[in-house]
Amino acid sequence: MVRMLRDFTARYFSNEEAIIIVLLLAASFLVVAFLGRVLAPFIAGIIIAYILQGLVAKLCRLGVPHLLSVTLVFVFFIGLFIAFILGLLPLVWGQVSGLASELPRMMRAAQQYIETLPQEYPQLVSMEEVNTLFRQVTTEMGQITQWLVSLSLESIPGLITLLVYLVLVPILVFFFLKDRRLILERLGSFLPQQRPMMDRIWREVNMQFANFVRGKAIEILIVGGVTYFALKVIGLEYAALLSLLVGFSVVIPYVGAAVVTIPIAMVGLFQFGWSDEFFWLMLVYLIIQALDGNVLVPLLFSEVVDLHPVTIMLAVLVFGGIWGMWGVFFAIPLAIVLNAIMKAWPVHESPGTTET
């Protein structure tokens, strides 16, 4: 047993950089696990600055001075930020409130429909099963109501925190863009001078992660915008809210599209019933999803590491189990980082190993 551990250590951890990387990963995990809520604006600022860095680099390549490039990109970001806060956010919040007020009517309509099932399909559904379902739904609705009441009582501190984030995140984004090189040099001073493995991992992660994050930002805008236009043409209620959900669902491949189909189908079914409008709605939605998966994704992510679907599912389950919704949201970028580390990890053959 001791020999096996010694051989394993010599094979995978004989390199100084490998040990440092393991320590950095462990420290990052502990920081996110215990200080993730406190560092949320800091992490958000890093992600947003990372997305915008591509625009800064393009302006610099065109001959625009660095500080002017940062200023132009930051003004562009602030414009989008204000448009979101003053335009899209109130619209979505209004539709969320409207949908919440409509839930009792939807529940009554669903109850009336379900009560007819034992009469139409007595061999499949019994009245006892329907009553059991109603009791479970009533219990769940009561718990949701209590949660909403407690949420409203706790909303004041949350609003204050949100206001702080709205001011702090843009400031962090500006300084991350402006002093990016200085920050990276300062962080690099804590690492070994000779670090070929870390440099290789950084180049791989920087390329793949940058393509993924910026590509996903573009995909969210395109898919969300096209979905909003289509839902408005069809006349579906809560189009802004549903298109926002569809846009952000592309962050989680396969799973996101399947999950967001449920609210769209439910709203469409309650509004249109089993009519031609409902089937047109679902057909248009499926066409948007097909075009996204077969046309838009290959165009945007041609240079991104091709993660196997099983790997994606595993990443969603593992990181979602560790960090909840945020883990699901960042499952693919984290999988890209781990994949780059595994590809660059040094493996030393044991002295007694012979090639076959």
pLDDT, one tens digit per residue, over 273-290 is 778 888 999 999 999 988
Tokens coding 71: 């200023």
At residue 126, what are phi and psi to the nearest 5 degrees? Answer: -105, 160
pLDDT at position 286 is 92
pLDDT at position 218 is 85
pLDDT at position 92 is 76
Q: Predicted confidence band at 44 (pLDDT cuts at 50, 70, 90)?
A: confident
pLDDT at position 7 is 62
Q: Is residue 92 part of a domain?
A: no
Q: Which range, of 9-13, 26-30, 313-317, averages the lowest pLDDT?
A: 9-13
Identify the CA nearest to 261 among candidates 245, 272, 241, 237: 245
Q: What average pLDDT does the structure give for the chain? A: 77
Provide, for the chain, the percentages of residues in helix, strand and coil under a 3-state DSSP scheme, each rounded to the nearest 5.
85, 0, 15
Predicted confidence (pLDDT) at residue 75 exceeds the cutoff of 90: yes
**For residues 13 and 22, is the Cβ–Cβ distance under 8 A?**
yes
Higher-scoring residue by pLDDT: 206, 74: 74
**For residues 261 and 285, is the Cβ–Cβ distance under 8 A?**
yes
Helix axes 196-234, 331-344, angle to 10 degrees: 150
Predicted confidence (pLDDT) at residue 350 exceeds the cutoff of 80: no
**For residues 327 and 320, is the Cβ–Cβ distance under 8 A?**
yes
Q: Is residue 231 part of a domain?
A: yes
pLDDT, one tens digit per residue, over 127-158 is 777 777 767 766 766 666 565 555 544 554 55
Q: Is residue 159 part of a domain?
A: no
Measured distance CA(81)–CA(172) in Å, rounded: 14
pLDDT at position 312 is 73
Q: Is residue 286 part of a domain?
A: yes
Higher-scoring residue by pLDDT: 326, 22: 22
Q: Predicted confidence band at 88 (pLDDT cuts at 50, 70, 90)?
A: confident
Question: How many domains does the chain fold into?
Answer: 1
Kindly report the CA angle at 232 between 227 and 238, in degrees rounded to 5?
85
Burial of 110 (0-12, 13-18, 19+ CB in 10 A): middle
Kindly report the CA angle at 63 between 61 and 66, in degrees rounded to 5?
80
pLDDT at position 186 is 84
pLDDT at position 354 is 45
**Residue range(s) defining the domain that contains residue 329:** 196-346
Q: Is residue 20 part of a domain?
A: no
Measured distance CA(52)–CA(70) in Å, rounded: 9
If phi > 0 it is left, if psi is from -120 to 50 it is alpha, else beta; for residue 125 that is: beta
pLDDT at position 72 is 93
Q: Predicted confidence band at 356 (pLDDT cuts at 50, 70, 90)?
A: very low
Highest mean pLDDT among 119-133, 227-241, 247-261, 325-339: 227-241
Tokens coding 29: 């995990």
Q: Three-class SS string for 14-37?
A: CCHHHHHHHHHHHHHHHHHHHHCC
Three-state DSSP class for residue 348 = coil
pLDDT at position 187 is 79
Higher-scoring residue by pLDDT: 159, 64: 64
Measured distance CA(255)–CA(329) in Å, rounded: 11
Report the chain's terminal Cα–Cα distance, integer Å. 25
What is the rounded average pLDDT of the residues 18-25?
78
Q: Is residue 239 part of a domain?
A: yes
